[in-house]
Structure 1
Amino acid sequence: MIVIPAIDIIDGMAVRLYQGDYNKKDLMGEDVLKVAKSFKEAGAKLIHLVDLDGAKKGELVNLELILRVVKELEVDVEVGGGIRSFKDIKSLIDGGVSRVILGTAAIEDKELLRQAVDTYKDKIAVAVDFKDGYIHTRGWISKSDVHYIDLINDMEAIGVKNIIITDISKDGTLEGPNINIMKEVKSISNIDITASGGVKNIDNIKDLKELNIYGAIVGKAIYSKDVNLEEAINLCK
């Protein structure tokens, strides 16, 4: 399992939200590039970037900043948030982004998803963002009538190789990840699973590692110093 530190971007700055609520944000680091550099120096092989402005607007807003992180730091990044056109997907991958994460598009535009997967294969991942069992889209603002299990089955049929599972009720809370959901998904699917949301300490990292999943995204716990990123990365080597 790999540990993937996260940076959420609003107005060009690194923030963390509480349960996806845009009105409950904490400024974690003014300079996204500086935060990303500290993650790389701690040994991160992949950084998770989310364009929260883009998620809300429905199109990439912080593209220039994201590509600057890739170019200046020469680090692998995966990017999500507001990516709802093939043009944006191409711009990111052509700019050196390692993996593009589709969320709303995976629900609302299956043709775009299929085109992206056919073209870029495992460079495309899907965000399975849910609350009370049902997928939320458009920056977690809109609740759909799609159950997360049904979405995962659809993604596997389409050929998606990596899914990022977020229990929104856990995100940014430091209450621990939803281990039972990860176990359930692993039992029904062969897709690589990245767990996201709620990691609060190194014991959570150990618990997720024991599930033998692909990765664990850690955000707020790093900024609050409840998790030492270098220690977590070394634990999972």
Structure 2
Amino acid sequence: MILFPAIDLKDGRVVRLLKGDFATVHQVADDPVTVARAFAGAGAAWVHMVDLDGARDGVRRNADAVRAVCETGLRVELGGGIRRLQDIEDVFKLGVYRAVIGSAAVTDPELVRRAVETFGPKRIAVGVDARNGRVCTAGWVEDSGVEYREFARRMEALGVRHLIFTDIDTDGTLAGPAYDRLAALQAAVNCDITASGGVGSNEDLRRLQAAGLYGAIVGKAYYTGAVDLALAVREGGPQA
């Protein structure tokens, strides 16, 4: 299973939120490059990055930080504010390997189809960000009314192979992932699924791996020391 340690950026700072609530934002590290190098030192090959400024208002302000992390040699997966084909081209120029389409996948599915056709399915992921089983958009503040499994099926039909499922209710809580919803999603589609939200221990990661998940994002649990990233990478197996 691929481990995706996370760096969330706001105004160039490494921050964390609780359940996606911007009122809870707090800084957890000074320098994203230092954090990324620590990930690499633990054996990680990937880093999951979110431009929170872009996610909330569609304006990406953290290009310099993203480029600097790309230059560490980690393979960067980036979401937040990616709403046009040009946005994808722009972040790939920074060195990003995989672009994550979030809100725009709900409002503009044609963008998803074109992105997959243009860049290939390995380089495009879609974020399935759900609260109470319904997909949320605009930095998780708007309920789309679309059931998460139905949304995932629509994305698969457009050629998407990578889905990142975030259970907003567990994000940042360290209370454990939404195992039941993840299992239901696995049963609904044949995509590679990365679990996000709620990871609070190495045992959570073992359970996700045993369930056959493609990947798992580790955010708050890394910064609090609740997860031993080096151990998780060793237990996860090849990280290519």
TM-score, length-scaled by structure 1: 0.97
Q: Using the alignment, how far apart are the partners of 2:54 and 2:108 within structure 1?
A: 17
Aligned AA (1:63): A
Q: Give 1:108's aligned residue.
A: 107
Q: Using the alignment, how far apart are the partners of 1:64 and 1:27 within structure 2?
A: 18
Q: Give 2:139's aligned residue.
A: 139
Cα displacement (A) at 1:94: 2.8
Aligned AA (2:116): V
Describe how 1:1-237 pairs up with structure 2 within 5 A. Answer: 1-71=1-71, 73-121=72-120, 122-237=122-237
3-state secondary structure, aligned to 2:14: strand
Runs of 4 or more above 4 Å deviation: none
Does the aligned pair in 2 maintain the 1:13–1:29 contact within 8 Å? yes
Q: Using the alignment, how far apart are the partners of 1:184 and 1:33 within structure 2?
A: 36
Does the aligned pair in 2 maintain the 1:60–1:88 contact within 8 Å? no
Q: Using the alignment, how far apart are the partners of 2:35 and 2:74 within structure 1?
A: 13
3-state secondary structure, aligned to 1:204: helix
Q: Using the alignment, how far apart are the partners of 1:181 and 1:199 within structure 2?
A: 14
Does the aligned pair in 2 maintain the 1:51–1:60 contact within 8 Å? yes
Cα displacement (A) at 1:26: 2.2
Q: Using the alignment, how far apart are the partners of 1:64 and 1:113 within structure 2?
A: 26
Q: Using the alignment, how far apart are the partners of 1:63 and 1:163 within structure 2?
A: 24
Does the aligned pair in 1 maintain the 2:5–2:217 contact within 8 Å? yes
CA offsets 1:195-235 (integer angstroms, 9 cap, x no match): 00000001101100001111000100000001011011111
Aligned AA (1:133): G
Q: Using the alignment, how far apart are the partners of 1:187 and 1:87 within structure 2?
A: 34
CA offsets 1:19-67 (integer angstroms, 9 cap, x no match): 0000112211011111111111111111000000111111322122201
Q: Using the alignment, how far apart are the partners of 1:110 and 1:234 within structure 2?
A: 37
TM-score, length-scaled by structure 2: 0.96
Superposition CA RMSD, Å: 0.9
Q: Using the alignment, how far apart are the partners of 1:226 and 1:200 within structure 2?
A: 6
Q: Using the alignment, how far apart are the partners of 1:162 and 1:95 within structure 2?
A: 21
Aligned residues: 236
Does the aligned pair in 1 maintain the 2:66–2:94 contact within 8 Å? no
- Give 5+ residue unaligned stretches, structure 2: none
Q: Using the alignment, how far apart are the partners of 1:95 and 1:34 within structure 2?
A: 18
3-state secondary structure, aligned to 1:187: helix
Q: Using the alignment, how far apart are the partners of 2:158 and 2:36 within structure 1?
A: 32
Does the aligned pair in 2 maintain the 1:59–1:84 contact within 8 Å? no
Q: Using the alignment, how far apart are the partners of 2:37 and 2:138 within structure 1?
A: 29
